[in-house]
Structure 1
Amino acid sequence: MTNTDDKTRAWQTLDRDLNRITRLEAATLYTSRPLVGVGISLVFVTLAALTALLLTGAEPGSLVVVIAAAFGAYMALNIGANDVANNMGPAVGAGALPMMGAIAIAAIFESAGALIAGGDVVSTISKGIIDPASLSNSTYFIWAMMSALLSAAIWVNIATWIGAPVSTTHSVVGGVMGAGIAAAGLSVVDWHQMSAIAASWVISPLLGGVFAAAMLAFIKWKVIYVEDKIAAARVWVPVLIGIMAAAFATYLALKGLKHLIHIDMPRALTIGGLTGIGCGLAAVPLIRRQSRGLENRNRSLKILFRLPLVISAALLSFAHGANDVANAVGPLAAVVYAQQTAGVSGQVAIPLWVMVIGALGISFGLVLFGPKLIAMVGNQITKLNPMRAYCVALSAAVTVIAASWLGLPVSSTHIAVGGIFGVGFFREWHAERRARQMQATRPPKVIAPEERKRRKLVRRSHFMTIVAAWVITVPAAAILSGICFALLSLLG
């Protein structure tokens, strides 16, 4: 055996050892990646608590505010991780936005909505579920708000972990109800209001699904299933953009900007109508320019829907930040108010530093943990393209407007996910209808039950998981809140 052979084997052994080390390093990085998000989250929660300490350190009982600030930061992180997926998921699933682009847009517009239109005065998130006067003891009131905040955050965290988009508003409602019952008994709860919220579990996704399916049917009828698709798109896409602009202008006037200026429904509809007409007319030359040279095929139509889909996702994020930041900081603001005044109020002023914690927490939660739910909402329930995702986004805005008109308490989360289900189930029905029409002119084709199940366009496992999570959100948060209140009572 020569020295050359010995050196060759030595190098081969060294290469194998280096490959093992490289694979070990790669595996270590992969397994430690989730810990990075947890570590950054802990740093953010700690900074939120330190901020509260610095701003309230000279006041008696500031420790309670510090703990509540940590709970509020934790809740804001979970809102960003779970709730924002409903706004960005369809655009990402349709390929209109890359994941990082969606996260950047959502983080900017969520923060802007929270800080610009989040409001100086909001409800304490009691939502009419309990009467604050029934908790006349300020200490019990503080414990109730802290319990509601912590229990809602824990439940949303669990839902995110199992991959279920849930309503953070319903989570907080459940937390307030559970803490109220633990503090003052069943009589403290307004059960009429609770029954209306329970009805919204069915009404929200049903309205969203029906409207999204109807819009998809209209697009198929007027644009997709015509001989000259591009000519039809030049006529109808500006109209659809105008409808979307009208819907979102009305939505933002009613919801996103309601804390800056009070606008009633007739004025909001007027604003929406004028905005829709203007945007529709402006879209005519844009669509004509974009459609030049496009082939007469469905793939070409997707290009024309991408820009309105991106804009709708940004507007949904702005409105969501304006409305749902209160879920994170409303109870915290109530604790700050009660601690400073030793009183209880149904409405409180939110300090700027509290609003900043909520806005930053939503953005951090989105960046660190949001991609999982965004991918699930956008890709794993049913396959989306820009036309279908447009129907979902428009459904979210129009359904909220209709619910506000009728005075129905609805969840934007349930509406958005219901819209995706509606699009998916409509696709299933339409595909089976076309298959039956084709079989009428051809010999019948026997399909095995397993193959028929595989061809379903909506994943039934995700459907059942999400519906189950929706149903148990309020009771689960209520039970957790009752436990938290009991523990705080013992520690107090």
Structure 2
Amino acid sequence: MDSLIPINIVESTTSFNIAGFQHEFLWALIVGTILAFVLGFGMGANDVSNAFGTSVGSKALTLIKAYSLATIFETLGAVLVGYNVIDTMRKGVVDVAVYQNSSDEFLVGQVAVLGAMSWVLSPLMSGTVSLVLYLLVDHVILRTNDPVKNGLLWLPIFYFWVMTFNTFMVTYQGSRVLHLSSVPLWVSVILSFGIGFLSAIICHLIIVPRIKKRLDESEPKTDVNIESKGKSQTVPSSKFEESIDRVRSYSYDVTTPESPPSYRSPSSTVTDQESRQVENQSQGGAFDGGIKHFIFWLLPLRTRIQDQRTLRMFSSVQIMTACFAGFAHGANDISNSIAPLAALLAVYRTEDVLQTSETPIYVLLYGVFAICVGLWVLGHIVIRTVGTRMSEVNPASGFAIEFGAAMTALIASKFGIPISTTHCLVGSVVFVGMIRSERSIDWKLFSGIAASWVITLPVAGTAAALLMLLLKLSI
């Protein structure tokens, strides 16, 4: 019985110490909770708006639909995948063991971080992924003789790709809170491919016929008919005359072994391939092979007349990739905003800076709530900037932009790397815009955004350091 007395004394002393610690630093928890909401609000108004900006800009989604889908998929991304980034942010960036005997400094340090936090990482990887994807779409769909037919053939493949990738990211080494961390690799692979195949079958049997019907019903009336390789093709007269003018400007001076110089009348056949050949010759002269020829073949023709039925088909795909982008943002950026609060709460509850407990789901949901409030209140401002002002975005390019950014963000989340989905999306917009848009990029707007990225890190770091100094002097 006597041997139990020291143990009871130790337990009582420990409880008293934690209670005293919590009483002393209750203010830090309250202030940190408020600052986390403010940070989440700002992230919702900025980062989430970026994620859905291209979908709204291409008119694949309305603002209200974008807000609603963002709310749903941001929540799913945060709960299903966001745990990795939270762990990295709250105890992986800094060696928390050095604060073992100074929990108070660690606690107020998280308050300082919340007061000045933002992340700056290069968007090059996201831009590269989107660029490659758009070139693939251009070669197998957009530049073909029948882009709608080829697009509908590729649609189930896109669904398979997105759903397989997303399912694998969720199930393999998944959320410990949802007991997905013990799922074996082979189970994740089989489950991912199974869901991917099921999605492709559903797309082929249900979605594709609906899109065909919708395209047939909404096909606009045209006033000029042209024959292309035995198939009737209709083009609005204004755009037809535009393309004729372009080809005329090249045809007088271009000579090829296959066809002598000739004037192309309005009754002539105009195709993307012919326009591309003429432009290649006008810019590079007669040449056989070589790097220049490969580049002209690889890149899309900026003056191409986009087939409106094809773009309407891509609108349905872009809704899926917009949800994918929202999921990716929830998996990464929400964790960035809420990680200091999670660390603050863990230390406040146990006075242990090692933070061995898991992040509660309600902390993630609190972050999602703050971000969604910011999105609904101020998101329309940034949505217009990214979706319409920076570059010309249509459903086909928007699909590539969102998919590339989402893939990059999700892979980073899986490895616990805190990156900015905003930077991924802006990088993708710039990379894709440079190769496809006649308007190209609003470089003045982009330079302002890039400058803010460069400035943010030192300014935020300095602000956090000064705030930490003030808090440290006060305790």
Q: TM-score, normalized by length of structure 1?
A: 0.66
Cα distance in 1 between the residues matched to 2:53 and 2:93: 31
Deviation (angstroms), 1:272 = 3.6
Are 2:71 and 1:107 aligned?
Answer: yes
2:422 to 410, 413, 418: 413
Cα distance in 1 between the residues matched to 2:106 and 2:328: 29
Deviation (angstroms), 1:290 = 1.8
1:459 to 430, 435, 442: 442
Any idea what the Cα deviations from partners look like across 1:4-48, whole Å, max 9, x if unmatched?
xxxxxxxxxxxxxxxxxxxxxxxxxxxxxxxxxxxxxxxxxxxxx
Pairwise mapping of residues 350-365 of structure 1 onto structure 2 (< 5 A)?
350-351=359-360, 353-365=362-374
Q: TM-score, normalized by length of structure 2?
A: 0.68
Are 2:399 and 1:390 aligned?
Answer: yes
Cα distance in 2 between the residues matched to 1:343 and 1:353: 21
Question: Which moved further from structure 2: 227-236 or 251-260?
Answer: 251-260
Cα distance in 2 between the residues matched to 1:302 and 1:209: 21
Change over 3 Å in CA distance of 1:477–1:220 after alignment to 2 = same
Change over 3 Å in CA distance of 1:57–1:133 after alignment to 2 = closer
Any idea what the Cα deviations from partners look like across 1:99-131, whole Å, max 9, x if unmatched?
122112212332344456655994272463321
Change over 3 Å in CA distance of 1:420–1:258 after alignment to 2 = farther
Give the corresponding residue for 2:103.
Answer: 138
Give the corresponding residue for 2:40.
Answer: 76
- Say if 1:111 and 1:359, in contact at 8 Å, map to a contact too: yes
Any idea what the Cα deviations from partners look like across 1:258-280, whole Å, max 9, x if unmatched?
75312577765554433333322
Unaligned stretches of 5+ residues in structure 2: 1-18, 220-232, 234-305
Q: Which amino acid aligns with 1:365?
A: G
Cα distance in 1 between the residues matched to 2:409 and 2:172: 10
Give the corresponding residue for 1:91.
Answer: 55
Q: Which amino acid aligns with 1:465?
A: G
Q: Which amino acid aligns with 2:201?
A: L
Give the corresponding residue for 1:60.
Answer: 23
Give the corresponding residue for 1:284.
Answer: 204
Deviation (angstroms), 1:141 = 0.5
Change over 3 Å in CA distance of 1:413–1:368 after alignment to 2 = same
SS at match of 1:382: coil
Deviation (angstroms), 1:289 = 3.8
Are 2:397 and 1:479 aligned?
Answer: no
Give the corresponding residue for 1:488.
Answer: 471
Deviation (angstroms), 1:367 = 0.9
Deviation (angstroms), 1:149 = 0.8
Cα distance in 2 between the residues matched to 1:346 and 1:124: 12
Structure richer in helix, relative to its length: 1
Cα distance in 1 between the residues matched to 2:78 and 2:96: 25
Q: Which amino acid aligns with 1:60?
A: H
Give the corresponding residue for 2:127.
Answer: 209
Q: Which amino acid aligns with 1:458?
A: I
Cα distance in 2 between the residues matched to 1:388 and 1:312: 11
Unaligned stretches of 5+ residues in structure 1: 1-55, 153-167, 172-200, 432-455
SS at match of 2:440: coil
SS at match of 2:93: coil
SS at match of 1:84: helix
RMSD value, Cα: 3.2
Pairwise mapping of residues 34-433 of structure 1 onto structure 2 (< 5 A)?
60-61=23-24, 62-114=26-78, 119=83, 122-123=86-87, 125-126=89-90, 128-136=92-100, 137-152=102-117, 168=118, 170=119, 201-202=121-122, 205-253=123-171, 257=175, 260=178, 261-262=180-181, 268=188, 270-285=190-205, 286-292=207-213, 294=216, 298-351=307-360, 353-400=362-409, 410-428=419-437
Cα distance in 2 between the residues matched to 1:475 and 1:367: 30
Which has the greater radius of gyration?
2
Cα distance in 2 between the residues matched to 1:95 and 1:361: 26
Deviation (angstroms), 1:344 = 1.2
SS at match of 2:89: coil
Change over 3 Å in CA distance of 1:58–1:141 after alignment to 2 = closer
SS at match of 2:457: helix
Cα distance in 2 between the residues matched to 1:124 and 1:229: 45
- Say if 1:251 and 1:397, in contact at 8 Å, map to a contact too: no
Q: Which amino acid aligns with 1:339?
A: Y
Cα distance in 2 between the residues matched to 1:266 and 1:60: 49
Greater relative contact order (Cα 8 A, min sep 6): structure 1 or 2?
2
Size of the alignment, in residue pairs?
A: 364
Deviation (angstroms), 1:83 = 1.6
Q: Which amino acid aligns with 2:115?
A: L
Deviation (angstroms), 1:339 = 2.6
Deviation (angstroms), 1:348 = 4.2
Task: Indicate the percent of aligned positions where both proteins have the same amino acid.
Answer: 26
Deviation (angstroms), 1:334 = 2.0
- Say if 2:90 and 2:339, in contact at 8 Å, map to a contact too: no
Change over 3 Å in CA distance of 1:258–1:234 after alignment to 2 = farther
Deviation (angstroms), 1:368 = 1.2
Deviation (angstroms), 1:328 = 2.9
Any idea what the Cα deviations from partners look like across 1:395-423, whole Å, max 9, x if unmatched?
12333466679997754332222111111
Deviation (angstroms), 1:327 = 2.4
Change over 3 Å in CA distance of 1:124–1:147 after alignment to 2 = farther
Cα distance in 1 between the residues matched to 2:362 and 2:156: 43
Cα distance in 1 between the residues matched to 2:332 and 2:200: 27
- Say if 1:120 and 1:349, in contact at 8 Å, map to a contact too: no
Question: Which moved further from structure 2: 417-426 or 260-269?
Answer: 260-269
Change over 3 Å in CA distance of 1:317–1:138 after alignment to 2 = same
